[in-house]
Structure 1
Amino acid sequence: MIPKLNSYKEKWNVQSDDVIKPGLTAIQEALARLDNPENKLQVVHLAGTNGKGSTLTFLESIAKEHGLRVGKFMSPCILDVHDQIQVEGQAITEAEMNHVFQQMQAAGLSGKLTDFELLTVAVFLHFVASDVDIALIEAGMGGLLDSTNVVTPIVSIIPSIALEHTNFLGNTIESITHHKAGIIKPYRPVVIGDLPLEAKNIVYQEAQKQHSSVLELNHHFYIEQKNDGESYMHNDNSFHITKLTRTMKGAHQGNNMALAITAFFEVATALELQLSKEAIQKAVKNATILGRFEEIMPYIFLDGAHNPASAEKLIETIKHEFPGEQITFVIGILADKAVTEILQQFEQVSDYFYFVDFNNPRAMAAHYMLELSNASHKVVLEDYVQFLKLQSENKSRTIVSGSLYLLTEVRSRLKNI
């Protein structure tokens, strides 16, 4: 369920299904009724397991520093449906959402789409009305059959691929890559991160079918650590930028930064922009994202590590940022995730775990998580708000993680204390 979406559906009597129905036929028919707003946008399309949101955030910051008016669509929401759709960093307003729902009602879309498809249509309508220069679109699930895959982007980006959504995408890296690589479009380049070999092979095969060039991290472009920051370069030395200093922590964020810089080359070429090294340096420093190693209170961090691959990146960051310190975890995870593997990752750096229930029908009960944990100190925590407050006051380093939906709930509740 997408928070606050139902209030607009009820107000405008636009019905949609709260289910996942992979496929493009329904949304293509809906968009045709609205004169295909997606075709009026310049788009960057992102799919992948981890790193989409961070790469998008770096890209947004770089685009803004080059004077572009940026629209972005990310999933899931932080607080509610409004923050998923942003222009110039500002969430869509109630009045703007009413306007797009009025358009969708008039087009007769009621009963024809799922919730996410309806939201995707709203995104395209809002970005066209807002006259954005570039639209950054994150796929909801997979890519090939995801409702966002109706766009023809300037460039596609696939930061990473790992096992996820196996009930829809298949239970092998190959089957999942088949879906992710579905965002590659004819004669449009794709920028990829450090993918497993079997995934990389499929991406290259699909790109060849589509006559698309592949720009691969550590093959066509690189990041190097220097004393005064990081350096980015193309392997043909056509562009080299030094003194890149990130606010977003973790070595993996350096890779995401590199993906964003590379993708922006393609954007700049398509839009006939002059690249500025100073603008990129400033953008990289200014880029921040909610729920990515985010210190929400002193000593209290939120990180949306919700699968083994992202958990591994979180552990790497903790080891780098807080070597030798005692870490406490507050954990809530969706039952359809690889819960045991995620907990095993977290248990590498901590033996103190507090498991919580949170408001999502897919959430695993806290007592089940406790049973799966191998930690020696493990507790089902009833009131995490007061616990986090005390942890902060006691200067006890605490990470809240496991589900982005938990982070949304924690953020909302901490605002009221």
Structure 2
Amino acid sequence: MNYQETIDYLYQLLPVFHREGKKAFKADLKNTLAICEHLGNPQHKFKSIHVGGTNGKGSSSHFLASILQEAGYKTGLYTSPHLKSFTERIRINGKPIPEEEVVAYVERNKSFIVDLRPSFFECTVGLAFEYFASQKVDIAIIEVGLGGRLDSTNVITPEMSLITNISFDHTDILGNTIAQISTEKAGIIKPQVPVVISQKQDEAEQVFIQKASSNNSLISFASDKYELNEYSVCEGFAQFIFKKVSANEEIHLKSQLIGKYQSDNLKGVLDSIEVLKTRGFEIDKTAVERGVSSVVTNTGLKGRWQTLNDKPKVVCDTGHNLAGMEENLNTLQKYQFKQLWMILGFVSDKDISGILALLPKSANFVFCQAEVPRAMNATELQQLASQFQLEGIVIPNVNDALNWVLSKAKPDDFVYIGGSTFVVAGIDDL
């Protein structure tokens, strides 16, 4: 099989969460452990950092990878889902895994995969771990797929864990309270392995403290150590000025990721760097500054408040839950524009009423749907949105929707595209 045939084969053979939702989620680690055992337990052959949370874990993972690259380390990065190509999920120093490596992995392990029938994600985790081990990375950043405790990535013993923030997402799997969700996320805290929590949150704080205490793990809340003094956007970069509370010093960072919400992620990243230094990693101030300012260039990250056009300003973002949309609307306030256009699509297995209640009624809406089975029907979305006094038209394909908006919008308007990772992934010019 060639590369495309191999990917198609896996999609057809194995349950895929981003297409099928909950029924593709395996609520235990048996398959992953079996895969790792079959592969010779590659997860124990490289150092790692485990990154979980609801929002921000992808951006934080990319920041850490970029900084470690700038510090001179051969750095693996495993994230999900991908936006354009499956190979985006597995990178070393920003370069995606070669397609021939994917083909070879499936060919070598085909009979085992057929017999075990793991999920697509479980199969992918095995591939990532084997690739990082074979390439002898100095360290790999491993992003949790879903939850933490039962996530397939949770078979590693990392140098440290980072948990970004906790909010409502995948409540049908993780629970419908912050405490329940936090318990699942806290599952990545390992015995005597330090953990950084990016944001201190009332309902989650004690869950993390208790889990860390029971594991004799040093815990640190980054939001207690760093304060955001100033945020601005200039010439395509965000400017962040943080105050390090203990030293009463300022940290100036320029970032290619310009959403204001990145300030919370960066607090966790800065604290994580301090932890890594205690674990023997040499990371100086210049590596941090260059890693943050070049994060997109170094890692190939897409879809985080990404500018696609300037006049009118067109921005897409993969934020897809209530907390993510709140942060995006906060960032939007930093921009001056005449009319806001919102091209939105969602998945069908989430309650989006909270998101719709937030959206500005003065915006012009275009409702679309991603080309995945989980996508909410665009006409149904239009009808639901109308209950919140959000009026707009239906154009199912996101690229058709964008072209239509561009034919109507004025140069000083603002166009936002989002609601679902899969809507963003469908943009041709991403």
**Fold shared, TM-score > 0.5 on shorter chain:** yes
Cross-structure match for 1:329: 342
SS of 2:129's equivalent in the other structure is helix
Whether contact under 8 Å (1:353, 1:375) holds in the other structure is no
| Cα distance change, pair 33–383 in 1 and its aligned pair in 2 (3 A) | closer
> How many percent identity over aligned positions?
27
Which of 356, 366, 369 is the aligned partner of 2:378?
A: 366
Cross-structure match for 2:269: 260
CA–CA distance in 1 between the matches of 2:147 and 2:395? 34
Deviates more, 1:350-359 or 1:201-210: 350-359
Whether contact under 8 Å (2:337, 2:414) holds in the other structure is no
Whether contact under 8 Å (1:72, 1:135) holds in the other structure is yes
Matches within 5 A, 1:192-207: 192-207=197-212
Cross-structure match for 1:179: 184
Which of 316, 341, 350 is the aligned partner of 1:302?
A: 316
Tell me which amino acid in the other structure corresponds to 2:114. S
Deviates more, 1:120-129 or 1:14-23: 14-23
Tell me which amino acid in the other structure corresponds to 2:273. F
| Cα distance change, pair 325–131 in 1 and its aligned pair in 2 (3 A) | farther
TM-score normalised by length of structure 1: 0.90
Tell me which amino acid in the other structure corresponds to 1:309. A
CA–CA distance in 2 between the matches of 1:296 and 1:99? 36
How far does residue 9 in structure 1 lie from its aligned partner after superposition?
6.2
Whether contact under 8 Å (1:142, 1:180) holds in the other structure is yes
- Deviation string 1:169-206 (CA, Å, 9 cap, x unpaired) is 11111111111000000111111122431111101110
TM-score normalised by length of structure 2: 0.87
- Deviation string 1:49-101 (CA, Å, 9 cap, x unpaired) is 10001111111111111011111111111113111111111111111112322
Matches within 5 A, 1:8-407: 8=6, 15-18=13-16, 19-105=24-110, 108-112=112-116, 113-225=118-230, 229-232=239-242, 234-237=244-247, 240=249, 242-270=251-279, 272-288=280-296, 289-298=301-310, 299-320=313-334, 322-323=335-336, 325-347=338-360, 350-373=362-385, 374-375=388-389, 377-382=391-396, 384-389=398-403, 391-392=405-406, 394-395=410-411, 396-407=413-424
**Number of equivalences:** 405
CA–CA distance in 2 between the matches of 1:16 and 1:400? 30
Unaligned stretches of 5+ residues in structure 2: 17-23, 233-237
How far does residue 46 in structure 1 lie from its aligned partner after superposition?
0.9
How far does residue 275 in structure 1 lie from its aligned partner after superposition?
2.8
CA–CA distance in 2 between the matches of 1:376 and 1:275? 48
Tell me which amino acid in the other structure corresponds to 1:341. G
| Cα distance change, pair 11–327 in 1 and its aligned pair in 2 (3 A) | closer
Unaligned stretches of 5+ residues in structure 1: none
How far does residue 409 in structure 1 lie from its aligned partner after superposition?
1.0
- Deviation string 1:100-139 (CA, Å, 9 cap, x unpaired) is 2234337x24331111100110110111122211111111
SS of 1:132's equivalent in the other structure is coil
- Deviation string 1:358-380 (CA, Å, 9 cap, x unpaired) is 21111111111111213453111
SS of 1:163's equivalent in the other structure is coil
Whether contact under 8 Å (2:200, 2:223) holds in the other structure is no
- Deviation string 1:286-319 (CA, Å, 9 cap, x unpaired) is 1233111101233221111210000000000001
| Cα distance change, pair 10–59 in 1 and its aligned pair in 2 (3 A) | closer
Tell me which amino acid in the other structure corresponds to 2:357. Q
Whether contact under 8 Å (1:74, 1:138) holds in the other structure is yes
Tell me which amino acid in the other structure corresponds to 1:245. K
